[in-house]
Amino acid sequence: MSKVMQGSEALGSEPAEAVFDGHFGPYGGRFVPELLMAPLEELAEAYEAMRNDPAFQAEFYADLQQYVGRPTPLYYAEHWTRRIGGARLFLKREDLDHTGAHKINNTMGQALLAVRMGKRRIVAETGAGQHGVATAAVCARLGLECVVYMGAEDVRRQSVNVYRMRLMGARVVPVESGTRTLKDALNEAFRDWAANVDDTFYIIGTVAGPHPYPAMVRDFQSVIGRETREQCLEQHGRLPDALVACVGGGSNAIGLFHPFLDDHDVSIYGVEAGGDGVETGRHAAPLSAGRPGVLHGNRTYLMENEDGQIMPTHSLSAGLDYPGVGPEHAWLKDSGRVSYVAVNDDEALAAFHSLTQTEGIIPALETAHGIAYAEQLAARLGPDQTIVVNCSGRGDKDINTVAEVEGMQV
């Protein structure tokens, strides 16, 4: 078992020649109201200082180890592999992170940064509630005030997570505007931040938003890929043939992918939410069927109409139900380094059961999209090949949704 990455390794520091300006090719950037420009510059400066500060990194490392529970196992899912027949399937067990998903790698890092910056009030948006729960947890631990914006529709779908957040002292604000889902929660969180910039830190939960969020969140999540890389080398002496992760905003995916981007023998697949099917228009797959535009502070692929209005999204999984995607994914799509595919609701649901039955691991519905694509991919590859799937979250939060879809009473 590998150790947790230490020191500058933990944050993926690169030589600090040119300060990154937040653009991934034509994507990313900083498209925000003037009011937020100074706070974002302040944040970028603070983050740049912290990522090169050994004391900050040591604190982050200790928290990942002792509070989050890192390193997470790279688990050979032998029974699942046998069921599928084909490549050997490994799970990076981010579902074992404290609070049940990879989200806390990032909230831990950002909350420590908030404390260093003297901000005692935290706002966050959440879709499935996993980021909200991970934010509420670190705020409870660090004694920070926590306000979580959540679409009213998601509050209904994810009532258990709402209760978890409230138990940990967070105020959960249902958002009734727009489509009442994740994108509207982001709008409200930005509005709150704009009104309270002096004392408030906005913890964005994914690799989207204005610079420095996409790069900062990626750096905090890249511990996933660095551990995976080291575990692969330790356990079977070579890198995997393929990586698979689900992509909503794309933080678990970029966290796994980023340390492998220069390993050109490793194929990389990002799996979007196909909803009822990309061809039906009822989906949440901007990389598969959208086009570039500007939303929530960055330029990226979006689901939008010809007039530039953002379209409603559809996915069984609340965490993927978002019309945009992190700008680095947009760039990785255009560059061809990562292949983006879509998996429909029913395929994800079947994979949810498949993994649960063969391995006794209940994946989140978001994660199940990656699981489903990994099954398709494994079947095309031989037993001498290996696939690592990011098991990004546990599915306990989704059992009511699954039961409802299948007409069961829980």
| Residue ranges that bind another protein, judged by CB under 8 A | 29-39, 177-178, 183-184, 186-187, 190-191, 194-198, 293-297, 302, 304, 306-310
* CB 191, min distance to another protein, A: 5
Q: CA 41 to CA 39: how far, in whole Å?
A: 5
Residue among 170 and 295 whose Cβ is closer to another protein: 295
* CB 402, min distance to another protein, A: 30
Residue among 7 and 33 whose Cβ is closer to another protein: 33
* CB 321, min distance to another protein, A: 15
Q: CA 60 to CA 90: how far, in whole Å?
A: 27
User: Number of H helices and number of E strands within the chain?
Assistant: 17, 15
* CB 310, min distance to another protein, A: 5
Q: What is the CA radius of gyration of the chain?
A: 19
DSSP structural state of residue 306? T
DSSP calls for 229-288 = HHHHHHHHSS--SEEEEE-SS-HHHHHHHGGGTT-TTSEEEEEEEEEEEGGGTEEE-HHH
Q: CA 328 to CA 333: how far, in whole Å?
A: 9
* CB 186, min distance to another protein, A: 8
Residue among 73 and 292 whose Cβ is closer to another protein: 292
**What tokens appear for 102 in the block?**
């990879």
* CB 177, min distance to another protein, A: 6
DSSP, collapsed to helix, strand or coil, labels residue 307 as coil
Amino acid type, 35: L
Nearest to 133 by CA among 157, 90, 155, 104: 104
Q: Apex CA 301: angle with CA 147 and CA 201, to 5°?
A: 20
Q: CA 245 to CA 231: how far, in whole Å?
A: 17
Q: CA 87 to CA 109: how far, in whole Å?
A: 35
DSSP structural state of residue 399? H
Q: Which residues are catalytic?
A: 103, 125, 392
Contact 389, 90 (CB under 8 A): yes
* CB 254, min distance to another protein, A: 22
Nearest to 395 by CA among 343, 331, 320, 317: 317
Non-local (6+) Cβ contacts of 196 within 8 A are 121, 123
Question: How many angstroms separate the first and last alpha carbons of the chain?
Answer: 38
Q: CA 341 to CA 361: how far, in whole Å?
A: 24
Residue among 88 and 183 whose Cβ is closer to another protein: 183
Q: Which long-range contacts (CB under 8 A, 24 or more apart) does 53-61 make?
A: 54/7, 54/8, 56/112, 56/113, 56/116, 57/6, 57/7, 57/8, 57/10, 57/11, 58/6, 58/7, 59/112, 60/10, 60/11, 60/108, 60/109, 60/112, 60/220, 61/4, 61/5, 61/6, 61/7, 61/10
* CB 51, min distance to another protein, A: 22
